[in-house]
Amino acid sequence: MTDPRRRIPRTDTLLAEPRLAKAAAELGPALVKAAVIAAQNRARAGEIAPEDVAEEAVAALPATASSLRPVLNATGVVVHTNLGRAPLSAAALDAVRAAGGSTDVEFDLGTGQRAGRGRGALAALAEAVPGAGAVHVVNNNAAALLLCALALAQGREIVVSRGELVEIGDGFRIPELLESAGARLREVGTTNRTTARDYAGAVGPETGFVLKVHPSNFRVSGFTAEAGLAELAELGVPVVADIGSGLLRPDPLLPDEPDATTALRAGASLVTASGDKLLGGPQAGLLLGEPGLVERLRRHPAARALRVGKLTLAALEATLRGPVPPVRAALDADPEALRERAERLAAELREAGADAVAVDARAAVGGGGAPGVELRSAAVSLPESYARRLRLGDPAVAGRVERGRCLLDLRTVAPADDRLLREAVARCTS
C-alpha cells in the first residue's frame, strides 16, 4: 500500500500555488515558507490530509508580517499599558500610512533644501499649549526627564521631594533614571509632607533644577503637605514639572490630574508629559516651556538618540489637529448610552445561546493616570470560561474576570466595534 505521506505536495510546488505566491509577495517568503512547512508536518503526523496542506498553510497565514495582533479592549481600562496604551484615531492612522513612504519630514518642497524636522507636529503642539514658549518631542516621558537631567543637571544636584521618588512601572524608578544621567539627587521633606521651606533649604550653587513629580500611579492621603509650583518658581532656579499623563489643558472630568497649561501658568520652567496617555496619541515625550531651556535640551548631544521618527511625528500632529481621539471619546462616553448598548448586545447574545446579561460596571483611566478615579460604565457579563476563548479568538478580545464572570466593559469598546464583539462572543458560544 502506498504511504499517504508520499502525496504531500513538495515545498516548491506549494510556494508556487497562487494564493501562497501572492502572500509571499505581501508578507515575505520566510513567513509563508514557515506556514507551508508547518502544514506539511501536520500532514506527516496524520493530523490533516495531504490534499489539505495548501489550504491549511493559507489559513495559518497572519494578516500582516508583524507578530502583533489587534485586540478589542473590553477591559474597562481606557489607557491600558499592556495593550499599547492609547489606540490611535483614524486620522492618526491615515497620517502614519501617508508618512510610511518618502515624506517631507525634514525637507522644504518649495526650496528643495533641508527644513526643520517635524515642524508640523511641533507647531500643532505649540498651538495646543499657547503658554509654552517653545516645545520639543522625544520618544517617551522618561526620555524627556532624562534629557532634562543630562542637559541641566549632569554633575549637579536635582532637588526633589522624598514623596515623589516614584517607580513608573516594570521596576523602573525615577531616582535611578536621573542618577544614570550623572545627576545627584538632593532629597527633601518626608514621604507625606514636603514644604516650600524644605526646597529652599536645599537650593544652592550646585542645584541644576527643582523637580516636581506628579505621583500619577498612587495616592497619599491623610496628614500630607506639598509645595505648589508657584512657590517653587520663586526659588530662583529652573523648575521641571513632570505631569506624566499628557493632559494639556484642565479637564473637569479629572480635576486632580495636573495639566501642562496650568503648570506653565503656575511658574514651571519646563513641563514633561506623555503623548500616549490622556492626550490619546502615539508614544512620545512632550517637553514644553521656556525657549532658552528647550533649546538647550534640543541641542544636547543626547537629543539625537532620543528623537522620534516620522511615523510618530505624523501621528502626533494628526492627534493634536484631528478629530476626538479614542481615549477622549472613551472618557466622555455617556454611562446611560453604555448601558443601552450592553442591554442590546446581551439580548442578541442570548438569542445566539450565550449566558449573557448586562450589568453596571466601573472603568478606570489607566496608564498610571488618575489613580482612584472610577468611571461609571456598563458591561456584558458572561461565564468565566469565555475569557480565555475570547483572548484566543480572531479578533482577540480582552475582558476582565470579576466574581467568576467574564465582563466585557463597553466604555473601552468603540460603538462601531459592537458587531465585532458580538460575533466574537457568538463564535465562542457555537
pLDDT in tens, 44-83: 999 999 999 999 999 999 888 888 899 999 999 999 999 9
Please name the CATH architecture into which domain 71-84+328-429 falls.
Alpha-Beta Complex (3.90)
Q: What is the DSSP string of 386-429?
A: HHHHHHTSSSEEE-EEETTEEEEEGGGS-GGGHHHHHHHHHHHH
Least Cα distance to 117 among 282, 314, 256 occurs for 314
Q: Where are the domains of the chain?
A: 11-60, 71-84+328-429, 90-323
At 221-240, the pLDDT tens digits run 777 788 899 999 999 999 99
DSSP label at residue 77: E
Three-class secondary structure of residue 184 per DSSP = strand
What torsion, rounded to 10 degrees, do the Cα atoms 365, 260, 87, 310 define? -160
**What's the pLDDT score for residue 208?**
97
For residue 91, with 0-12 CB atoms within 10 Å meaning exposed, 13-18 middle and 19 or more buried, which class applies?
Answer: middle
Tens-digit pLDDT profile for the chain (430 aa)? 467 778 899 999 999 999 999 999 999 999 999 999 999 999 999 999 999 999 999 999 988 888 889 999 999 999 999 999 999 999 999 999 999 999 999 999 999 999 999 999 999 999 999 999 999 999 999 999 999 999 999 999 999 999 888 877 777 888 999 999 999 999 999 888 999 999 999 999 999 999 999 876 667 777 778 889 999 999 999 999 999 888 999 999 998 899 999 999 999 999 999 999 999 999 999 999 999 999 999 999 999 999 999 999 999 999 999 999 999 999 999 999 999 999 999 999 999 999 999 999 999 998 877 777 899 999 999 999 999 999 999 899 999 999 999 999 999 999 999 999 999 999 998 7
CB count in 10 Å sphere of residue 347 = 12
- In CATH, what number does 90-323 get? 3.40.640.10
Q: How far apart are the first and last CA of the chain?
A: 40
- Tell me, what's the pLDDT at 181? 94
Strands 400-402 and 172-173: unpaired
Same fold? 71-84+328-429, 90-323: no
Comparing CA positions, the residue from 75, 116, 128 lying closest to residue 421 is 75
* Closest among 310, 315, 338, 368 to 142, alpha carbons compared: 368
